[in-house]
Amino acid sequence: MSPSIPRPTVPTVLPPEYGPPLTAAQAARMMKAAEDVANAEGWPMVIAIVDSSGSLLMLHRHDQAQRASVDVAIAKATTAVNFRRETRVFQELVAGGGLGLRLLGMPHMTPLEGGMPILLEGKVVGAIGVSGMHSTQDEYVAKHGLAAIGALQA
């Protein structure tokens, strides 16, 4: 560490580690719970689930869900797992303006509420992304998916 290079004063915040991949059985339980709430509400949606490698594990598109939501749901899920953060965090930073606006230039980062990493035993095992309705409704559905496998954070 060169004394001539001023050390930044921001605190070090380490994100959760990556864990083993979500299983297909876990994804199916998440998907059912998420679809149940979407169907109960009458919301046509696309729900995508990726594993800890960022690879697509399961995707369901409902009748009359907007077609663009296929890519959006996958993008929310991959953003959540590759950055190990809820996509809502990025949305809020962008909405705050100023420095947050730079995030719009981040490659492969979709700053739209509705993508959530899946944490089991403190490790990122995958992510869920939901698209099709208002983003707060998207996240509401995503949370039901997390709850179905005990992965909803307090």
* Residue numbers 75-104 binding a copy of itself by CB under 8 A: 75, 79, 81-84, 90-91, 94-95, 97-99, 101-104
Query: Nearest distance from residue 55's CB to a copy of itself, in Å?
Result: 5
Among 77, 115, 119, 140, binds a copy of itself (CB under 8 A): 140
Give the footprint of a copy of itself on residues 31-50 (CB under 8 A).
37, 40-44
Using rule CB under 8 A, residue 68 touches a copy of itself: yes
Q: Which is nearer to a copy of itself, 120 or 152 (CB)?
A: 152
Using rule CB under 8 A, residue 106 touches a copy of itself: yes
Using rule CB under 8 A, residue 12 touches a copy of itself: yes
* Alpha-carbon span 35 to 71, nearest angstrom: 18
Query: Nearest distance from residue 52's CB to a copy of itself, in Å?
Result: 7
CB 149 within 8 A of CB 31: no
Residue 11 CB neighbour total at 10 angstroms: 5
Among 127, 137, 149, 151, binds a copy of itself (CB under 8 A): 137
DSSP string, 95-152: HT-GGGGGGGGSTT----S-EEEEEETTEEEEEEEEESS-HHHHHHHHHHHHHTTT--
Residue 65 CB neighbour total at 10 angstroms: 20
At residue 90, what is the residue type? Answer: F
